[in-house]
């Protein structure tokens, strides 16, 4: 028996990076997967590569109606939602906090924070009817050990960690587990923004702050998410799991 047999996962931001890694790894372990992303071409590609276990849904998670439609599409295709992964996210470019304009701030707040509220409103009643479920958010080491240059992004991830813990205690009686992942800088489309510029020197600087000596990969994050999503983690709720090669020590 595979680790996610009979489970349905909705994963946002699944057209690339960590979300793509999770969608593919979850499917390998038997899950049926909704690949949701603003980038419809990427979502179609990922769902196509997975095969008939997956559907692609174009979703802007900053819009409540689109999040509702995403969950409705999951119900229509697969009849249930066991795993909700809030993974879509974005950052401002590394730099002075005073240089981030209000539109960018609002976008970060909408995608990294408010979208979690929208998906929670949509999936909790479904999970409650089903007798349980699990919610996983991709937070960040940035929410635990903030460093200069990414202040508003860091704060949005701190919000996600606190929301996770508070949701976990409130949803425990409904048998809904809520956890988050705290990846260290990883090899995805967001890396250049985090570093300010993607140069060999900047990469070496980032690697030097990670005891295990490398950046994270989508597979590292997918394997951690897989464990949290599976019944192996049935007694785990409210954690912010550092997937960071020791960065936060």
H or E, element range at 103:
helix 102-108
Is 153 annotated in the active site? yes
Helices and strands counted in the chain (H then E)? 9, 7
34 binds ligand NAD (CB under 6 A): no
Task: State the CB neighbour count (10 A cutoff) for residue 218.
Answer: 21
Q: Which segment (71-79, 82-90, 118-126, 223-231) binds ligand NAD by CB under 6 A? A: 82-90
Q: Which segment (7-15, 23-31, 94-102, 230-238) binds ligand NAD by CB under 6 A? A: 7-15
**Binding residue (CB under 6 A) for ligand NAD from 8, 13, 119, 155:** 13
Q: How many CA atoms lie within 13 A of 221 on its CB side?
A: 32
Binding to ligand NAD in span 96-155, by CB under 6 A: 111, 138, 140
**Smallest separation (angstroms) from ligand NAD to the CB of 96:** 20
Binding to ligand NAD in span 47-76, by CB under 6 A: 59-62
Contact residues: ligand NAD, CB under 6 A? 12-13, 15-19, 37-39, 42, 59-62, 87-90, 111, 138, 140, 183, 185-186, 188-191, 194
- The set of catalytic residues is 153
């Amino acid at each position: 028996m595979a680790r996610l047999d009979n489970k349905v996962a909705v994963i946002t931001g699944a057209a690339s990076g960590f979300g793509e890694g999770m969608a593919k790894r979850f499917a390998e372990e038997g899950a049926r997967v909704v690949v949701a992303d603003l980038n419809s071409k990427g979502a179609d590609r990922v769902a196509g590569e997975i095969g008939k276990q997956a559907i692609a849904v174009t979703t802007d998670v900053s819009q409540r109606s689109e999040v509702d439609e995403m969950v409705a599409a999951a119900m229509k295709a697969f009849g249930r939602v066991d795993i909700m992964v809030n993974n879509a996210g974005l950052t401002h470019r590394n730099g002075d906090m005073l240089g981030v304009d209000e539109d960018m701030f609002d976008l970060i707040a909408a995608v990294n924070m408010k979208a979690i509220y929208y998906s929670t409103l949509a999936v909790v009643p479904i999970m409650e009817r089903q007798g349980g479920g699990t919610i996983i958010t991709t937070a960040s080491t940035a929410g635990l050990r903030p460093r200069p240059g990414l202040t508003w992004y860091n704060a949005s991830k701190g919000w996600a960690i606190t929301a996770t813990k508070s949701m976990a205690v409130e949803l425990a009686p409904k048998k809904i587990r809520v956890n988050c992942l705290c990846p260290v800088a990883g090899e995805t489309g967001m890396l250049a923004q985090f570093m300010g510029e993607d140069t060999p020197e900047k990469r070496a600087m980032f690697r030097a702050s990670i005891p295990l000596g490398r950046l994270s990969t989508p597979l590292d994050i997918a394997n951690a998410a897989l464990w949290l999503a599976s019944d192996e983690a049935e007694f785990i709720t409210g954690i912010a799991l550092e997937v960071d090669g020791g960065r936060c020590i």
